[in-house]
């Protein structure tokens, strides 16, 4: 319950205060969101599996976001930014799908 409240509070804070993001950071926001989504789904699934661990969750979240942004940044510097973001999105997308399927099995027993 508390994590969901935290998520809702974050969304509301972002919508109401409308913080300005520095221009150099803006291209990496979408990929960071996908990475964060992956960590959140992973954490939710772990919780349903009964093996959730706060430390693992926080570390996986931070490293996911940072590494995803870093890969895209590196790709931009090397001139393959679009391709690398596609790669990141594909890998994270597959993981999100897999975790969502596991969550679905837990919730609906199907």
Quick one: which of 2, 3, 96, 92 has its CA closest to 42? 96
State yes or no: residue 72 binds another protein (CB under 8 A). Answer: no
State yes or no: residue 29 binds another protein (CB under 8 A). Answer: yes
Q: Which is nearer to another protein, 27 or 80 (CB)?
A: 27
Give the torsion through C-alpha atoms of 85, 98, 54, 70, to 10 deg: -10
Q: Report whether 42 contacts 60 (CB < 8 A).
A: yes
Among 22, 24, 58, 79, binds another protein (CB under 8 A): 58
The span from the CA of 31 to the CA of 65, in Å, is 8
State yes or no: residue 66 binds another protein (CB under 8 A). Answer: no
Query: By the criterion CB under 8 A, which residues form the site for another protein?
Result: 2-15, 18-19, 21, 26, 29-30, 32-33, 36-37, 39-40, 42-43, 45-46, 49-62, 65, 91, 94-95, 97-99, 102
């Amino acid at each position: 319950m508390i994590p969901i409240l935290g998520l809702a509070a974050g969304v509301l804070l972002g919508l109401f205060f409308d913080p300005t993001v520095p221009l150099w950071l803006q291209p990496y926001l979408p990929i960071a969101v996908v990475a964060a989504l992956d960590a959140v789904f992973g954490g939710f699934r772990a919780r349903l599996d009964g093996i959730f661990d706060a430390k693992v969750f926080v570390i996986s979240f931070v490293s996911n976001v940072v590494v995803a942004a870093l890969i895209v940044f590196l790709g931009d510097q090397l001139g393959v930014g679009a391709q690398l973001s596609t790669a990141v999105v594909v890998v994270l997308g597959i993981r999100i799908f897999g975790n969502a399927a596991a969550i679905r099995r837990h919730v609906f027993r199907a």
